């Protein structure tokens, strides 16, 4: 859209009605064309359509195309290296240092780019627990990104609260602004850079909404441990008797699907904190993968794709009938739906629960050798939490192909963890012991062979095993000890064939199974050596809670 035209937009008269007294000049944003403050979803729909940012499809969702970036640009995320934070940041692959002077130069150019342009502001909060919530301001170049932010985060409860909102962290997202690697010292034209000292993050060169969401998560991961709060890449729900459960896992492992259980109340699907008050959601929305979504297997999420107020990223639709085709992956495997948590009928309005009775680690084992469920001791939980073994599923990050990629993502969310994994693991173990939680490792990946040979474990079997763990039925059965990982594996579970509980039974060759299992054990051992080599003192005896190789090295 031509920024110099004076055609009034649909919400121009309401643009400043919900403005905060803490203006954008405090962020160095001057000479803007018009600022649209805290618009409601309906107004943002109108603005997005007026500006050609998306299309309204059958039954009301807003469908947008994120362009060349249909997933997180993980390699383009950095943190400014400065004195107040550099001592506690886990520098490396996921936390790349960025020069303060280069950040200031890039920020100045971004501020200049926004002059003469419209911007949208959402003043909101990260964290449903009032003792730990973080006031955040999200400034965007597009209306649909503002709708995304409003959908995903918690809102002030009154007009007066909007006017008094003062952010403690600010995000500026301008997808139309590209960095110059030669001038700005960035890797590419895309950048996601956090400055913890300035309480500011800037995003450019990408339209993918997940960058905004995960930037807030990274901020909370940096700040909350100082208050004794464990930030977690997990979903959470609560049973009829008030028993809470949390589900750790990377995208594609089943966090959203398995927590959306009609028999339990949903706390949230992705990001939470665990404080001395209990578990609380960081967000007010859900961000689910919807490629090949099944109405029968995932009815609650499926229904959300047919509702006004849902944002669909890169979902293919018929331009004439406006009907969606959730099976079409020609744009990406990583099609997404962002929708309010309230769209899930059994979601808890206050987004808070007590202390978890069960902690579940979800791993998508593409090698097909891990049991579908096993019970861990607190020390084994520390080992597996720090390891974060899983497989990256196609589309969730740029560069992933069709075949799953075996990976170790510390804390089941390494790209968003700012401190060393052992710091988060210490917090987790302390809370497990203090509140008496049981810990389970659940494999939602393959059985009967690796990817390409075996088959994905039935979601019905996974749900039956999880239900038995959460309702206490698995406390009543016999267990056997896995010979490689020494974890406890149930011998039986109602509704699940006993033969699949020992994955060796599902392979055509026991020798091939043993060989593949030994290879996986070696990968675990090598990965944990990296953890022990870090500057933070990690007890070397933690290795005894990991796998033992069956073959000689």
Of the listed 118, 261, 269, 270, which one is catalytic? 270
Distance (Å, whole) CA 280 – CA 224 = 12
* Helix or strand (DSSP H, E) at 463: helix 459-470
Residue 214 is a catalytic residue:
yes
* Helix or strand (DSSP H, E) at 145: helix 143-152
Q: What is the DSSP letter of 367?
A: T
Of the listed 81, 133, 137, 214, which one is catalytic? 214
Of the listed 251, 335, 363, 391, which one is catalytic? 251
Q: How many CB atoms lie within 10 A of CB 58?
A: 14
Residue 158 is a catalytic residue:
no
Cβ contact 410:343 at 8 Å:
no
Of the listed 137, 233, 375, 431, which one is catalytic? 233
Of the listed 72, 165, 264, 384, which one is catalytic? 72
Q: How far apart are the first and last CA of the chain?
A: 63
Residue 351 is a catalytic residue:
no
Residue 72 is a catalytic residue:
yes
Of the listed 155, 255, 355, 384, which one is catalytic? 255
**267 - beta bridge partners?**
none
Residue 323 is a catalytic residue:
no
Distance (Å, whole) CA 189 – CA 184 = 9
Residue 306 is a catalytic residue:
no
Residue 336 is a catalytic residue:
yes
The greatest distance separating any two alpha carbons of the chain, rounded to the nearest whole angstrom, comes to 75
Residue 433 in 3-state DSSP? Answer: helix
Distance (Å, whole) CA 477 – CA 540 = 34
Of the listed 218, 256, 374, 447, which one is catalytic? 256
The length of the chain in residues reads 553
Residue 233 is a catalytic residue:
yes
Rg of the chain over Cα atoms, rounded to whole angstroms, equals: 23
Which segments of 184-229 are extended strands (E)? 191-195, 200-204
Of the listed 155, 336, 357, 431, which one is catalytic? 336
Phi, psi torsion values for 221, nearest 5 degrees: -65, -30
Residue 296, burial from CB neighbour count under 10 angstroms (0-12, 13-18, 19+): exposed
- In 388-457, which residue ranges form alpha helices assigned H by DSSP? 421-435
* Helix or strand (DSSP H, E) at 456: strand 455-456
* Residues noted as catalytic: 72, 214, 233, 251, 255-256, 270, 336
């Amino acid at each position: 859209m031509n920024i110099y035209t004076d055609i009034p937009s649909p919400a121009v008269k309401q643009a400043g009605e919900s403005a905060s007294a803490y203006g954008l000049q405090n962020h160095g944003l001057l000479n803007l064309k018009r600022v649209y403050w805290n618009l409601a979803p309906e107004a943002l729909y109108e603005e997005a359509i007026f500006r050609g940012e998306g299309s309204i499809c059958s039954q009301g969702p807003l469908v947008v195309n994120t362009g060349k970036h249909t997933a997180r640009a993980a390699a383009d995320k950095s943190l400014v290296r400065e004195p107040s934070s550099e001592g506690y940041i886990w520098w490396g692959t996921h936390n790349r240092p960025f020069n303060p002077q280069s950040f200031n130069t890039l920020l100045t150019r971004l501020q200049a780019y926004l002059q003469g342009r419209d911007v949208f502001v959402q003043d909101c909060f990260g964290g449903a627990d009032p003792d730990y919530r973080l006031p955040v301001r999200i400034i965007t170049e597009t209306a649909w990104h503002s709708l995304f932010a409003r959908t995903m985060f918690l809102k002030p409860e009154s007009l007066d609260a909007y006017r008094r909102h003062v952010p403690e962290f600010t995000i500026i997202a301008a997808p139309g602004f590209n960095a110059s690697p030669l001038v700005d010292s960035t890797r590419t034209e895309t950048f996601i850079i956090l400055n913890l000292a300035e309480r500011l993050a800037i995003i450019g060169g990408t339209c993918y909404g997940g960058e905004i969401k995960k930037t807030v998560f990274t901020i909370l991961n940096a700040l909350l441990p100082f208050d004794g709060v464990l930030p977690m890449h997990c979903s959470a729900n609560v049973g009829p008797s008030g028993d809470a459960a949390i589900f750790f896992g990377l995208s594609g492992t089943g966090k959203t699907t398995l927590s959306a259980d009609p028999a339990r109340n949903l706390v949230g699907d992705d990001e939470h904190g665990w404080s001395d008050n209990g578990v609380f959601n960081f967000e007010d929305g859900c961000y689910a993968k919807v490629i090949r979504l099944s109405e029968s297997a995932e009815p609650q999420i499926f229904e959300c794709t047919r509702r006004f107020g849902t944002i669909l990223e890169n979902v293919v639709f018929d331009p004439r009938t406006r009907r969606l085709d959730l099976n079409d992956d020609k744009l990406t495997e990583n099609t997404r739906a962002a929708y309010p948590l309230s769209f899930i009928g059994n979601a808890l309005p206050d987004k808070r629960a007590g202390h978890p009775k069960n902690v579940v680690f979800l791993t998508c084992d593409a090698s097909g050798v891990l049991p579908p469920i096993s019970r861990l001791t607190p020390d084994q939980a520390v080992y597996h939490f720090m390891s974060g073994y899983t497989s990256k599923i196609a589309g969730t990050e740029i560069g992933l192909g069709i075949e799953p990629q075996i990976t170790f993502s510390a804390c089941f969310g390494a790209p968003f963890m700012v401190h060393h994994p052992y710091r988060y693991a210490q917090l987790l173990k302390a809370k497990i012991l203090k509140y008496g939680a049981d810990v389970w490792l659940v494999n939602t990946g393959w059985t009967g062979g690796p990817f390409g040979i075996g088959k994905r474990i039935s979601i019905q079997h996974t749900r039956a095993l999880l239900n038995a763990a959460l309702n206490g039925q698995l406390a009543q059965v016999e267990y056997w000890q896995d010979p490689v990982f020494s974890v406890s594996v149930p011998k039986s579970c109602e509704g699940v064939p006993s033969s699949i509980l020992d994955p060796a039974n599902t392979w055509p060759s026991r020798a091939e199974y043993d060989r593949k299992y030994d290879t996986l054990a070696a990968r675990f051992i090598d990965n944990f050596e990296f953890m022990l080599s870090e500057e933070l003192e990690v007890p070397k005896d933690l290795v005894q809670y990991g796998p033992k190789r069956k073959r000689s090295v």
